[in-house]
Amino acid sequence: MTQNILVVDDDELVLLAIQELLTPLGFSVTLASNGPDALRKAANRRFEVVILDVIMPEMDGFEVCRRMRQLEAYQETPILMLTAKSGEEDKQRGMEAGANLYLPKPIAPKRLIALVEEALK
């Protein structure tokens, strides 16, 4: 069974890089460039993992994470925040919003793959 991953980031290059990294491994990767788009996609399709940026226009990743956690289907889904905001206070906000992991950018491709695979166990 193909595992579905939602990647949310306002940087198109980041979206494409993560898609190019995960798709050859057999994952079905769906991209969203902002929070409202991510929430619409999450409401219409079940994702096993969400990779979420923090700094985005319209709605930041903290709010997206909080709203996702309110959806019954996403109360237990692993959410990995991948962001340039790497301060301790930001990490705390991410965990309080419901993230499982809070990871600073840039991240080594092999490390991201390992974390996604671990989240799916």
Is pLDDT at 1 greater than 80 in this prediction? Answer: no
pLDDT digits (tens, 9 = 90+) for 23-77: 999 999 999 999 999 999 999 999 999 999 999 988 999 999 999 999 999 999 9
Residue 99 is part of a domain; what is its CATH number?
Answer: 3.40.50.2300
Q: Is 9 helix (H, G, I), strand (E, B) or coil?
A: coil
* Structural domain count, the chain: 1
pTM of the model: 0.95
pLDDT digits (tens, 9 = 90+) for 59-70: 999 999 999 999
Q: Range of 65's domain?
A: 4-119
Provide mean pLDDT across the span 13-23.
97
50 CB-near residues (< 8 Å, 6+ apart)? 5, 6, 7, 8, 38, 42, 68, 74, 77, 78, 79, 80
End-to-end CA distance of the chain: 14
